[in-house]
């Protein structure tokens, strides 16, 4: 490292128009662009052939289109910014050669070549890097090599099509392009004035997204005739952060109530210690943590045998707390829980929230994108009556981490400015990536992605059942399949470790009501049926190995 002592600033003087540099660079630059165009043509042709062979011509043609876009962007950069040839080469080398062809190429191939899990020892990187930052500038080449040799071995490849762990965290080229523009503008948009397009695009895009998932007018900022709507949306980093904001808003509304009845500030504030928020044992832990962060109590209600929070259980919990003199202020219903993708009794919760005048939030962090498909909308009935609703387009809607969409009904009356809708003052230009995704995929492309993952999940759900050793824990509704090896859950645990060590595919386990289960999350951006078939093959082979290594009696 550090052998090349070139100065990156003087060597790559992009941004300043230096005619001497530009004309000197013109020859190689033109040649490079010409070669790039030929390459793009060749690539499109190759995609066309692969698309025909795999029966997915539309999708692959689309990516060929993206490739061309990137290529033309790089060429456009030459004209727009007067970059020199080295800079263009750097840009194309990073974006096209490395990202697309070295990293993403393995994702395109149906059976990825690189292991999806990393099996290095903790602390590995400290041994490979210098003790302190280099005094002199290093070359891009050296850094790039370190990415390949030192960083890559420690990466868990969430973008691998053989990655089935947690929930998916989709990445897509449109989102990457949007993020690149965001990095280029690099605005800190805390108010309309600090970057008008950032605020305005976000408002419009959250309306687009709301309409895409059928959220209803109550949550939208702008009516069809251009007049202000009653609701509003904002992009937060994560669902955890979105729900913290919701809880703060709910608490604020609750404190305002005694004040409106004549209580003084101090008296109203002092009541906060008695505020209680309702969640279930299947609600994401982030929500429970958020409740504690704002100094209130979470009341964790047992879910029913289908892992759902139901009306009767909520009513019983409320009755208990009222007797204890607690003040109810918030209930969270989940549409697609993390463990099993169960959908709480949202209409029942909405009834109780209305009767008790408490804030009703719907957490659809994972399953939200399914609502872009009309056939899934009935499952989320009741969420139209919520006070707030959030989902993570970064999970299953191709929008690259981080990106959590949050809507408030009558949001405008609660907040005046985007910087008051979030914890940090400054904000990234995140709506760009959503804009790119919604435009370059179109609503139909997003629906295709959702439906393809659900049908892969349904196919997988049927596979283990053929083999009497596997037991599906809950019927598959979206793109998560949950199963265990019966009856010894300990085998399930060993199987997860064994699969992770094997590292051809990646999946995870969890505990649901004392059962150790295995979770398989379908829905990666470029995953195909072949990847799911590999998964089944690996599970079956390693399950046989784990079972034979243990002395358990199977029944
Ligand atoms: N809610 C649900 C239902 C989730 O599945 C998750 C994460 O998987 C979260 C909330 C937390 O999401 P984030 O990591 O964006 O905070």
331-341 confidence digits (pLDDT tens) = 999 999 999 99
Pocket perturbation via mutation, ligand 1, pick of 337, 344, 366, 510 by most ligand atoms within 8 A of CB:
366
pLDDT beyond 70 at 167: yes
* 166 CA from centroid of ligand 1 (Å): 10
Kindly state if the Cβ of 238 falls inside 6 Å of ligand 1.
Answer: yes
Name which CATH class applies to 444-548: alpha beta
Question: According to the model, what pLDDT value does residue 108 have?
Answer: 46
pLDDT tens-digit map of 11-67: 222 222 222 333 344 444 445 555 555 555 556 656 666 666 666 656 555 556 656
Kindly state if the Cβ of 363 falls inside 6 Å of ligand 1.
Answer: yes
* 281 CA from centroid of ligand 1 (Å): 14
Q: Which of 142-156, 253-267, 358-372, 468-482 has the highest mean pLDDT?
A: 358-372
Tally of helices (H runs) and strands (E runs) in the chain: 19, 11
When pLDDT is averaged across residues 380-393 and rounded to a whole number, the result is: 96
Q: Which secondary-structure segment (H or E) carries 161?
A: none
Kindly state if the Cβ of 334 falls inside 6 Å of ligand 1.
Answer: yes
Kindly state if the Cβ of 167 falls inside 6 Å of ligand 1.
Answer: yes
Kindly state if the Cβ of 239 falls inside 6 Å of ligand 1.
Answer: yes
Q: Which of 69-73, 232-236, 356-360 has the lowest mean pLDDT?
A: 69-73
pLDDT beyond 80 at 242: yes
Question: According to the model, what pLDDT value does residue 65 have?
Answer: 62
CA distance linking residue 533 with residue 537, whole number of Å: 6
Q: Where in the chain is the domain with CATH 3.90.1150.10?
A: 444-548
pLDDT tens-digit map of 287-321: 999 999 999 999 999 999 999 999 999 999 999 99
* 239 CA from centroid of ligand 1 (Å): 5
Question: According to the model, what pLDDT value does residue 325 have?
Answer: 92
pLDDT beyond 90 at 2: no
Alpha helices in 261-390 (DSSP H): 265-270, 285-293, 311-323, 346-356
Q: Which of 68-77, 198-207, 218-227, 425-434 has the lowest mean pLDDT?
A: 68-77
Q: Where in the chain is the domain with CATH 3.40.640.10?
A: 250-391
Answer for the pair 14, 74: CB distance below 8 angstroms, yes or no. no
* 401 CA from centroid of ligand 1 (Å): 12
DSSP assigned state of 100: I
More confident residue, 112 or 526: 526
- Which atom of ligand 1 is the closest one to the Cα of 242? 16
pLDDT tens-digit map of 187-210: 998 888 899 999 999 999 999 999
pLDDT beyond 90 at 438: yes
For residue 305, with 0-12 CB atoms within 10 Å meaning exposed, 13-18 middle and 19 or more buried, which class applies? exposed
Kindly state if the Cβ of 404 falls inside 6 Å of ligand 1.
Answer: yes
pLDDT beyond 80 at 71: no
* 283 CA from centroid of ligand 1 (Å): 9
Pocket perturbation via mutation, ligand 1, pick of 293, 392, 430 by most ligand atoms within 8 A of CB:
392
β-pairing verdict for 388-391 and 359-363:
parallel
Question: According to the model, what pLDDT value does residue 104 have?
Answer: 58
pLDDT tens-digit map of 97-151: 556 555 555 544 543 566 677 778 999 999 999 999 999 999 888 988 898 899 9
* 244 CA from centroid of ligand 1 (Å): 12
* 284 CA from centroid of ligand 1 (Å): 6
Question: According to the model, what pLDDT value does residue 48 have?
Answer: 61
Angle between helices 57-81 and 85-92 (to 10 degrees): 160
Q: Which secondary-structure segment (H or E) carries 456?
A: helix 431-466
Topology of 250-391 in CATH?
Answer: 3.40.640
Residue whose C-alpha is closest to residue 235's, from 361, 390, 436: 390
When pLDDT is averaged across residues 371-387 and rounded to a whole number, the result is: 96
pLDDT beyond 60 at 490: no
Kindly state if the Cβ of 338 falls inside 6 Å of ligand 1.
Answer: yes
């Amino acid at each position: 490292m550090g052998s090349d002592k070139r100065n990156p600033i003087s060597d790559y003087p992009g941004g300043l128009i230096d005619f001497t540099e530009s004309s000197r660079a013109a020859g190689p630059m033109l040649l490079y662009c010409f070669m790039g165009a030929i390459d793009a043509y060749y690539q499109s042709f190759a995609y066309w052939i692969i698309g025909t062979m795999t029966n997915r011509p539309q999708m692959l043609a689309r990516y060929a289109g993206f490739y061309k876009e990137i290529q033309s962007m790089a060429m456009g950069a030459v004209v727009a910014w007067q970059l020199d040839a080295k800079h263009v080469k750097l840009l194309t080398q990073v974006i096209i050669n490395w990202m697309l062809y070295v990293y993403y190429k393995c994702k395109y191939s149906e059976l990825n070549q690189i292991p999806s899990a990393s099996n290095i020892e903790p602390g590995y990187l400290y041994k490979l890097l210098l003790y302190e930052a280099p005094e002199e500038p290093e070359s891009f080449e050296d850094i790039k090599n370190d990415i390949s040799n030192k960083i890559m071995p420690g990466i868990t490849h969430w973008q691998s099509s053989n990655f089935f762990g947690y929930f998916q965290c989709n990445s897509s080229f449109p989102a990457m392009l949007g993020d690149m523009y965001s990095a280029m503008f690099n605005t800190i948009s805390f108010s309309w004035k600090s970057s008008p397009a950032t605020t305005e695009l976000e408002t419009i895009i959250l309306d687009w997204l709301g309409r895409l998932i059928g959220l209803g007018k109550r949550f939208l900022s702008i009516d069809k005739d251009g007049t202000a709507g009653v609701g509003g949306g904002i992009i937060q980093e994560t669902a955890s952060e979105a729900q913290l904001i919701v809880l703060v808003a709910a608490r604020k509304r609750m404190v305002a109530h005694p004040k409106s009845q004549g209580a003084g500030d101090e008296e109203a504030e002092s009541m906060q210690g008695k505020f209680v928020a309702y969640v279930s044992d299947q609600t994401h832990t982030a929500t429970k943590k958020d409740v504690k962060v704002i100094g209130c109590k979470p009341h964790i209600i047992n879910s029913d045998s289908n892992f759902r929070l139901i009306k009767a259980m909520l009513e019983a919990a409320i009755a208990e707390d009222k007797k204890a003199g607690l003040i109810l202020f918030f209930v969270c219903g989940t549409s697609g829980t993390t463990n099993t993708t169960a959908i709480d009794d949202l209409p029942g919760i909405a009834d109780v929230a209305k009767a008790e005048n408490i804030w009703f939030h719907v957490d659809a962090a994972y399953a939200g994108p399914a609502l872009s498909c009309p056939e899934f909308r009935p499952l989320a009935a009741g969420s139209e009556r919520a006070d707030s609703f959030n989902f993570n387009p970064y999970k299953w809607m191709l929008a690259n981490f981080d990106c959590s969409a949050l809507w408030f009904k009558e949001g405008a009356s609660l907040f005046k400015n985007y910087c008051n809708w979030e914890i940090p003052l400054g904000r990234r230009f995140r709506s760009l990536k959503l804009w790119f995704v919604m435009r370059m995929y179109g609503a139909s492309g997003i629906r295709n992605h959702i439906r393809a993952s659900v049908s892969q999940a349904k196919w997988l759900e049927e596979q283990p059942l053929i083999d009497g050793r596997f037991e599906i824990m809950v019927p598959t509704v979206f793109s998560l399949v949950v199963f265990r090896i019966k009856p010894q859950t300990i085998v399930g645990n060993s199987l997860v470790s064994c699969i992770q060590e094997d590292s051809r595919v990646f999946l995870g386990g969890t505990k649901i009501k004392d059962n150790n289960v295995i979770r398989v999350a379908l829905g990666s951006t470029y995953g195909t049926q072949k990847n799911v078939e590999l998964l089944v093959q690996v599970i079956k082979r390693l399950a046989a190995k784990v079972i034979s290594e243990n002395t358990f009696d199977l029944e």
